[in-house]
Amino acid sequence: MNSLTTYERKRHFDQTPEPRPRRLRKGGKSGRRFVVQKHRARQLHYDFRLEVDGVLKSWAVPKGLSPNPAVKRLAMSVEDHPLDYADFEGVIPEGEYGGGTVMVWDEGTYELESGEDVKSAIRKGELKVRLKGKKLKGSWALVRIRDRNWLFIKHRDRYVSEDEPTEISPTSVLTQRTLAEIASEEGGNVKKAATGDPRGFRSKAARRQRSTR
């Protein structure tokens, strides 16, 4: 079964602007892109995705990745996504799977720190990567604890910090918009989206929305 079958089965592409899966080319060389998408659906969460063998291996991280090694963050593995999804930013209609506002919060490339390939590391339940993103940098471990449940753990390096990047840098790396601004400009639920923005950024989005009326 194609690894994107679950992704395709959950979505109605005549209703959602999310990209359709494209047929994968056998033997194609995989890139090393990663993306983190901020997603205000029923609850706010962050989707961490790694390009592996022509798809995006994906985990939902409720609180986002922390650069503090003392703070371990729960991550839940979800279905593979197509590579085109890495550029998706917009509004999934309410009533559709994952209905809500999506932002490309961070993007960049990654390097595998262990000597094996990524798929083998995922099967074994321990993945060590070095991220080279616009917001997230340095070495991380992703460790499976049970079934679909994993932990994200920051390794000690020069990028360790006690700051919370989701609070101090909450906007899109593609468009510099907040979730509320994305929803406002693309026909989404602004009030719902704004609950995913830090308070200091909510008032800014609200002022912009009022000024365009």
pLDDT tens by residue, 186-210: 999 999 999 999 987 765 555 555 5
Count, residues in the chain: 213
Query: Does 29 or 175 have the greater pLDDT score?
Result: 175
Residue 23: predicted pLDDT: 61
Tens digit of pLDDT for each residue in 48-75? 999 999 999 999 999 999 999 999 999 9
Residue 205: predicted pLDDT: 55
Residue 187: predicted pLDDT: 96
What pTM was estimated for this model as a whole? 0.92
Q: Is 211 a residue whose pLDDT tops 80?
A: no
Measured distance CA(35)–CA(109) in Å, rounded: 8
Measured distance CA(57)–CA(99) in Å, rounded: 20
Measured distance CA(121)–CA(119) in Å, rounded: 5
Query: Does 117 or 16 have the greater pLDDT score?
Result: 16
34-53: buried (b, 16+ CB within 10 Å) or exposed (e) per residue? bbbbbbbbeebbbbbbbbbe
- Domain residues of the chain, as ranges? 5-162
